[in-house]
Chain A
């Protein structure tokens, strides 16, 4: 069964589709993956660069389909670069590398002969010969690394198939995706190696599921899917105190993948004449779309500038937010992180006025629509834009009691915190009386690692009002306090990750996590 599934997936995917599982298999074999194509443009014909435990360097060029003479001639320039141009990576600059051409199909005999001839020349000139990895070898690599991790229980397998054959490809069914990941991550492990192997297998299975979106260039479900995977990876690491050597490479290649996918979304965005999609579009659909895109591309900029010291923030992102901000939509508290992250990007970019305006408007909108009985009611962060859209357009399956949200807020304290940090006392004073009618809510897990889960089962639901009167000094002191101990250590160690996490799990935004961004 596993062979058939892997083969079916492999022959129906493109090079982007098997890039992450292939990199993960290298990691599993003890390689340290230095670079992936998602990391940035490769001019030297190298999609993946890795180093094994002996310190030997490897470079891989990934291709899709049968490589015949016509295809070979087309890619020959890239192959020459793959073989001849040394890897430019700190501390490995002068080292020779083993070049590999990888394809999920085969290579024709004339091409093989051509490679043998070229290899002679290359070896004579001091380069290492080009090696081939074709479908059969790839299959073996994947199957050997996969192990027996395919869901065996009928219900679990049904869940896997449901995710694989999903009809609505515009959105990820997060509940089902998490239910599937839970099968792997939440079990008890006896060794670290077992956990590493589980991760390898899960990467492959996630790629099967997300590959269908990849083939159709549907960016958001891929981003959300991999982000969800990473949150559960962090959960597994925190819970089992798994040393970095067993998981960090996986984290790195998946982060690269997410960055790459956001970059693809950005590219598509900037080639569009308008931002409409097919069918019944425009109106709130368009506004929600602009908000979601604005949040993700801002987060990507913030992540990149955190990882790379000299990263220059993208002006096109700034122009997009500045021109489209008035067309965006605060649909409920699940949109708060999108606005906060856009504001953070603008702050870093240097447009402090617009940055502050976004926070002020978000806070005002939340308060005005939620603090009194006569208000419309603002959906809490557990309500996705899809659910709110269904309600707005009168097509919701379940009765949506907007009024039930009145008087409560999960995100008020985070917004107040940001204004305090920016020393905006006068802004807060102007709205303070109105916001005191709202009760602050949040969930505090009993086990720190549970904060990374989609739903915390074991935790305290805490609610409180601001004091009447409330001391500014007290609030300022709280804002300066050390971060609460229920925030996982990994988030403190990798704070840039929080930008993405909050967009994927908006209900995790609270007054503590906001201290990290």
Chain B
């Protein structure tokens, strides 16, 4: 081996991973999701309060990139750091895809689906979705509303119909009603958190 500097290289690798994680954490969707480091095992089995079970293998997320020897010789580690944004977006895309694919699987199993029947997304449809969901409340009694993730095409359609999304007293009324219903459900859920015979 020709003279080398492995200690510095290891530190650079750690720095790169840290910066990559920071970039991924900035993604609005992924940043909403709690992460947990798992140190052992090869599959992930989960069981919800409702008793639904799901077993999935751990999935590898990887990104490939190429750097020519000429570029590497000239720029060194900077050539790899230059790819950071691309690698981060690759990771985000893979993680998001995996997230939705797992969601789809879970939804299919639980039957927790609202069929839009091809209609565009509307406040009414959102109310229907909320009806099907469990919503928690914070210590001040405010609902912790779920994040709404829409496909970019759907977002474009929404932008084309802004009047549909203006404040609508009827929607407000329905939403309030739904939230109150959800509050009761939440209180019931909370009260059921006890040991019984």
- Chain A contacts to B: CB under 8 angstroms: 168-171, 216-220, 265, 268-269, 272, 274-286, 288-289, 292-293, 385-386, 389-390, 393-395
Give the residues in chain B near A395, CB-CB below 8 Å: 8, 11-12, 14-15
Q: Which residue of B lies closest to A218 (CB)?
A: B1
Q: Which segment of B54-62, B71-79, B161-169, B181-189 sits at the interface?
A: B71-79
* Smallest Cβ-Cβ distance to B79: which chain A residue: A282
Query: When A279-B9, A280-B9 are in contact, do A170 and B73 touch as well, CB less than 8 Å?
Result: no
| A393 cross-chain contacts in B, Cβ below 8 A | 8, 11-12, 15, 77
Chain A residues with CB under 8 A of B31 = none
Q: Within 8 Å CB of B69, what residues of A?
A: 274, 276
Chain A interface, DSSP helix/strand/loop, else mixed: loop
Q: Which residues of B contact A390 (CB under 8 A)?
A: 8, 11
Q: Which residues of B contact A170 (CB under 8 A)?
A: 1, 3-7
Q: How far is the CB of B78 from chain A (nearest CB, A)?
A: 6
By a CB distance below 8 angstroms, the chain A residues around B38 are none
Q: Is B2 an interface residue (CB 8 A)?
A: yes
| Contact-residue bracket for chain B | 20 to 34
Task: Tell me, in angstroms, the Cα distance from A169 to B7 when the chains sit together.
Answer: 9
A293-B3 contact, Cβ under 8 Å, with A280-B9, A389-B8, A393-B8? yes
Residue contact A289 to B3, C-beta cutoff 8 Å: yes
Shortest C-beta distance, A229 to chain B (Å), equals 19
Instruction: Give the chain B neighbours of A284 by CB distance below 8 A.
Output: 76
Nearest Cβ on chain B to A307's Cβ, whole angstroms: 24
**CB-CB nearest in chain B for A268:** B2
With beta carbons under 8 angstroms apart, the residue of A218, A286, A292, A394 that contacts B73 is A286
Residues of B within 8 A of A285 (CB): 4-5, 8-9, 76-77
Assembled-state Cα–Cα distance A393/B2 (Å): 21
- With beta carbons under 8 angstroms apart, the residue of B3, B10, B11, B72 that contacts A220 is B3
Contacts of B8 in A (CB 8 A): 285, 386, 389-390, 393, 395
Report chain A residues within 8 Å CB of B71: 282
Q: Are A275 and B76 neighbours in the complex by a CB distance under 8 Å?
A: no
Q: With A and B bound together, what is the CA distance between A292 and B5 in angstroms? A: 12
Please encode chain B, from 1 to 41, with 1 for each CB lying within 8 Å of some chain A CB and 0 for all others: 11111111111111100000000000000000000000000
Q: Please give 18 more A-B residue pairs, beta carbons under 8 A apart, in addition to A274-B69, A286-B76.
A: A168-B6, A170-B3, A170-B5, A170-B6, A276-B72, A276-B73, A277-B1, A280-B9, A280-B13, A280-B76, A283-B74, A283-B76, A288-B3, A289-B2, A289-B3, A390-B8, A393-B8, A393-B12
Contact for A292 among B3, B7, B10, B14, CB less than 8 A: B3
Using Cβ atoms and an 8 Å threshold, which residues of chain A touch B84? Answer: none
Task: Check if A171 sits within 8 Å of B72, measured CB to CB.
Answer: no
- 3 smallest CB-CB distances across A and B, nearest first, come from A283-B76, A395-B11, A282-B72
Partner pick for A293 among B2, B6, B80, CB 8 A cutoff: B2
Which A residues touch B72, using CB under 8 A?
276, 281-283
Q: Contact partner of A274 among B6, B14, B73, B78, CB < 8 A?
A: B73
A163 to chain B, nearest CB (A): 15
Interface residues of B (CB under 8 A from A): 1-15, 69, 71-80
Instruction: For residue B115, give the distance in angstroms from its CB to the closest CB of chain A.
Output: 51
Q: Give bound CA distance, A395 to B8, whole Å.
A: 7
Flag if A171 contacts B74 (CB, 8 Å). no
Bound CA span A282–B69, Å? 8
Q: Chain B residues with Cβ under 8 A from A265's Cβ?
A: 2
Q: How far is the CB of A141 from chain B (nearest CB, A)?
A: 31
Asked whether, in the complex, the Cβ of A282 is within 8 Å of the Cβ of B3, the reply is no
* A288–B1 CB distance below 8 A: no
> In the complex, what residues of B have CB within 8 A of residue A282's CB?
71-77, 79
* Inter-chain contacts of A269 with B (CB < 8 A): 2
CA distance in complex: A219, B1 (Å): 7
Q: Kindly list chain A residues whose C-beta atoms are within 8 Å of the C-beta of B15.
A: 393-395
- Residues of A close to B11: CB separation below 8 A: 390, 393, 395
Closest to B72 in A: A282
Contacts of B13 in A (CB 8 A): 279-280
In the complex, 15 of the A-B residue pairs with CB atoms within 8 angstroms, ordered by the A residue number, are: A168-B6, A168-B10, A171-B5, A218-B1, A275-B2, A278-B4, A280-B9, A280-B12, A282-B73, A282-B74, A283-B74, A286-B76, A386-B7, A386-B8, A395-B11
- Distance in angstroms between the alpha carbons of A393 and B76 in the assembled complex: 10
Interface centre among A170, A265, A272, A275 (most CB of B within 10 A): A170
Complex: A280 Cα to B16 Cα, angstroms: 11
B77 lies within 8 A of A280 (CB): yes
Give bound CA distance, A220 to B5, whole Å. Answer: 11
A356 to B7, CA, bound (A): 35
Contact across chains for A217 and B73 when beta carbons are under 8 A apart: no
Most chain A CB inside 10 Å of its own CB: which residue of B5, B69, B77: B5
The answer on a CB contact under 8 Å between B78 and A283 is yes
CA distance A293 to B1 in the complex (A): 11
